């Protein structure tokens, strides 16, 4: 996280970091990891006095559309998450 935030925050940097991290994840964890990363980025950047919510929200939407939508649909959609034990 610190390495990611030590440079200008761009979608490309977020995407690369997320792809490197999710290579070790499977199932719904591949969806959870990018969301947790965004949460941690938001907390840290807000702590630094920045207001990154709009940009980070767009990063998350773009990433999920590009890399996770097919998996989410195959699993039955977002409603399936609420049925996981």
Q: Say how many domains are in the chain.
A: 1
Domain that holds residue 31: 2-77
pLDDT for position 85:
61
Residue 21 lies in a domain: yes
Cβ-based burial of 74 (10 A; exposed 0-12, middle 13-18, buried ≥19): exposed
pLDDT for position 4:
87
Residue 47 lies in a domain: yes
pLDDT for position 80:
82
pLDDT for position 78:
85
Using alpha carbons, list the distances in angstroms from residue 11 to 25, 46, 61, 73: 21, 18, 11, 24
- 18: which 2 tokens? 């997320």
Query: Does the model's pTM come out above 0.75?
Result: yes
Residue 82 lies in a domain: no
Residue 84 lies in a domain: no
* pLDDT tens across the length of the chain (85 residues): 888 899 889 999 999 999 999 999 999 999 999 999 999 999 999 999 999 999 999 999 999 999 999 999 999 998 887 776 6
Residue 83 lies in a domain: no
């Amino acid at each position: 996280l610190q390495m990611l935030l030590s440079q200008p925050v761009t979608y490309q940097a977020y995407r690369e970091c997320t792809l490197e991290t999710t290579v070790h994840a499977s199932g719904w964890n591949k969806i959870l990891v990018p969301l947790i990363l965004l949460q941690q980025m938001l907390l840290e950047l807000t702590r630094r006095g920045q207001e990154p919510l709009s940009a980070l929200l767009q990063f998350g939407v773009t990433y999920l559309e590009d890399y996770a939508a097919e998996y989410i649909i195959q699993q039955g959609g977002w409603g399936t998450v609420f049925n996981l034990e």
